[in-house]
Structure 1
Amino acid sequence: MKKVKVGIVGLGRLGRQHAENLAFRIPNCELLAVCSVIPSEIENAQKNLGIKYAYTNFDEMLENKELDAIFIASPSGFHCEQIEKALSAGFHVFSEKPLGLYIEEALRVRQVVNQHKDQVFMIGFMRRYDRSYAYAKKKIEEGKIGDPYLIRCYGFDPAKAINGFMEFAKSNYSGGLFLDMAIHDLDLARWFLNAEAKQVWAIGGAYAHPEIMELKDAETGAALVKFENNKIGLFVAGRNCVHGYHIETEIIGTKGTLRIGTVPEKNMVTIFDEAGAIKECIDGFLERFEQAYLSEAEEFINCIRESRQPVVTVDDGVLSTALGYACKESFETGELITIQSPYNNIFSNQN
């Protein structure tokens, strides 16, 4: 098969990383087009990536008949509409998380995806493609820790990134702490526990940056989730981690425990100086998950070439969105939220 020709929309921090991977690091892939509403991002991509076509209008990019696939890395609020348009135009589609900011639009996307079964659709839960997380999943499937019944997830963005976050949050496209950040951990919990959420209670606040509360969001939030078979999920997410980017996951089973990322080490180097013995920490998500972002994009291209669907499905996007939205609703209302099937689109408050 010829090279898969891709157009990408969204050239922010993550979009640029995806664009570089598609342009230079994935065999049998050609990044042919880019799309952004910011002219400087387009100019930069054409200059540094050698892109043939550049657009400021997404609909115009979809008219390019040379393209095989569309890679969506735009702000979260645009995902659903762009997924629907790209699928309807006949393209294979990769979309960054979350699938949507609201259950109704996520369900609508699911319907469109199921109407185009001959086209590859993939949602960007890249941690499933991280070697450490994939290894942990393999150990669980081998029965190394017995039946997993509790998962604890920490996800903290570096404090130095707070200004960039504030600009993003003010755009109304982030979806809030649980849909924007914790969604990865919520997806991992479903994956590792092999269970869906039934109830959630979420709390949070703004401690170093009280202005975040004005956006009806939390600087740091926590959620306690009851999964099927009484399995337990403990989730903490925050945006004010002074030592760097800290992602930590623990899965406890009936016969043992797995931990991933307990210390967010930058590398294997220890610095010995007047301050003592120092292990530097990872600065951000692009550094920590560099390999995972590449691997998930490789899988998307391979699925197209091999005419198969990825293991991560649109239902993973719907169900993780439903859980993330339930966390958001619980945080905003202070209520315990019972989650029924999102396909019935029913949440209820439990006083």
Structure 2
Amino acid sequence: MSDVPGQNQRFTAPSPFLTWLLMIGVMLVATLLRLPRLALQSVAFDEGYSLAVGSAAWPTLFKATLSSGVHPPLFYIIYKTVLPLWGPTEFGGRFVVVVAGLLTIPCLYQLGRRMFGRPVGLLAAALLALNPLHVWLSQEARMYGLLILLATLSMLFFWQALRTNQARYWLGLTVVNALLFNLHYFGLWLPFIQFVTLLTDFRRYFSRFRYWVMAQFVAGLALLPWIFFTARRPAQTFGIGFLDTPNLIDLPLTYWNLAIGLSWGAAWPLTGVALAAVALAVLLGVVRSNAGFGPAQKIVIWWLILPVGLVWLISQRRSFYADRYLSFVIPAVILLISLGL
């Protein structure tokens, strides 16, 4: 039986007990890929900045974050809180991000299960556990592992709120989006995707729209203090001037990177074969989505194309196009691949 009312599935869903066993196996593999080598790599420049700011006194932390203006302060506040537990070492600085990366896997399982059924959820969880870019970002002392987790949770709460209209899901969406807004400016793409979803299916979700607006309004209030202090900075500059203007070829390369990790090394022929297989799976996912194009499919498609496409267009004038900034699209890529397999 399907976990999604009215959702046809190509495979018989595994029993809850077998699902539990499979998810334990997926989590073990994910942990082995992310945790053992955590302290072996030296600290990169951006990671060193995270450790320095997270270890500083509170006034220095806020001054440093405000002076750069690149990111809101939530990640450094979290770092300031948890770093004393493990110390400002390679392992300690990366451990909290590994935890966020591992938590994303069961969250994506839940999102896939509730949208498309248990088999898709399991496959999506397994693919995320093996995803090279997600493994790398889960081992980096930066905010991107947490960004992917919060993006997945935001879409999970959004989907459940649309389905059930229960207050607990609207509350969850409000809290998660408030955290997203204060973690990374690209977190603002999540409510935009949700807005487009509601707008393109307005008749269906008319009664839900006002609750969504209220949730975003309350979530946005949490960002107002940061906006106020940012607007009062003497110099309105942001430390992303090093980013090049993206070319048209960067669009497929970004999706390549998000799906299986971009590699030009000696193994690039094998990577090319893997890319072809993934492209075929995505194509099949799109075709099968069109065959039964419901609200869940719309959310995944908008999540897949809107952030990457619009950031690319805007970056033709002033570039802020970087794959790591767009890493919150990884769950959408994986869900679409899972639909096609």
Which of the five TM-score ranges fits, normalised by the shorter chain?
A: under 0.3
Q: Scaled by the length of structure 2, what TM-score is found?
A: 0.25
Structure (1/2) with the larger strand percentage: 1
* Greater helix fraction, Structure 1 or Structure 2: 2
